[in-house]
Amino acid sequence: MGMARQSSQPRMVPVGLQCRRRHAAGRYGPAAAAPAPQRSPGRTGRQGELRNLRRMTTDIESRRLRINGLLVVNKPPLLSSMGVISRVRGRSRGVRTGHAGTLDPLATGVLVVGLGRATKQLESMMGLSKRYHTTIDLSCTTPSYDLELDPVPVDVASRPSRNDIRTVLDSMIGTCLQAPPAFSAIKVDGKRAYAGARRNQHDDLPPRPVTVHALDIARFEWPRVDIEIHCGKGFYVRALARDLGRALECGGVCTAIHRRAVGPYTEDRAMAFDAIPDPLEQEHLLPVPENHAETHQEP
């Protein structure tokens, strides 16, 4: 018998056998190292998280103790005084914040804001004299005595003169009784008066004593009169419009109210609302004077 001839074709290995060989090689032979199992944070990880939390809390408390002073803001229209406080508190990262006398939402001008330990001085600062500029329309009226509600025209039998207006304003100089408008933030039975006013309860509140240092006519052209006001605590500019109109037997609505100053804090020292820094730092604040007595003096 002759010798068997060897085939030149490569030997074919069944697919199933190839898979078993590869599996065995990966199982018993050299193979890539398996990834190390991930460890749970455990006690050490939780302790690290607690340390970071305590560190963050300490930083916040340190910042709150470090920021103390006054920020004079030029409040824009259509923004409440608490809207300003909310912006300042947010940009100071939660520092205690308050103000030294509210402004109507439609009013503009100086709002003195206290931060940190300066908030303890705000109550005494509310007694500081204030300066306003207002424009009053004598041809119409509204329940709020401003343009929060639609104005209603008033029939005026005889238009007052500049001298007539001057005479009425002179009678208001000094200490007098003034009834706050129903649309005000004064609390009645634990609720803000404006809440009842918006439910059509428009009765003015009981009168209270206020002090007026000066009332000057800046401009008069029927039906509008511009008045510069220097007054004490608790004076309502909108009530001035109401009382002036009643005395002249015509309307009285404030179409603009701008606060020029609160004591020594004038509008030229005020920061625009949109310019409040973020973050708000100590270097942006004014110091709190120890004595405000000098700002109570009349001009």
**Average pLDDT rounded to a whole number, residues 61-87:** 89
pTM of the model: 0.75
**Phi and psi angles of residue 169, each rounded to the nearest 5 degrees, phi first:** -65, -40
Q: Whole-angstrom Cα distance, residue 244 to residue 212?
A: 14
Which among 59, 104, 226, 278 is annotated as catalytic?
Answer: 104
Q: State the helix-helix crossing angle for 162-171 and 237-248, rounded to 10 degrees.
A: 120
For residue 159, the one-letter residue type is R
Question: What percent of the chain is predicted at pLDDT more than 90?
Answer: 65
Question: How confident is residue 298, by pLDDT bands cut at 50, 70 and 90?
Answer: very low
Q: Is domain 53-127+265-287 classified as CATH 3.30.2350.10?
A: yes
Q: Whole-angstrom Cα distance, residue 109 to residue 262?
A: 10
Cβ–Cβ < 8 Å for 131, 258:
no
Q: Whole-angstrom Cα distance, residue 65 to residue 94?
A: 11
Rg, the chain, Cα only: 37
216: which strand partners?
A: 228
More confident residue, 104 or 41: 104
**String of DSSP letters for 148-159:** TS--EE---SS-
Q: What residue spans in the chain does CATH classification 3.30.2350.10 cover?
A: 53-127+265-287, 129-262
Tokens 């340390």 belong to residue: 51
For 299, the token pair is: 């001009």
228: which strand partners?
A: 133, 216
Residue range 11-33, pLDDT digits in tens: 555 555 555 555 555 544 555 55
- CATH superfamily name and code, 129-262: Pseudouridine synthase (3.30.2350.10)
Cβ–Cβ < 8 Å for 135, 256:
yes
216 is catalytic: no
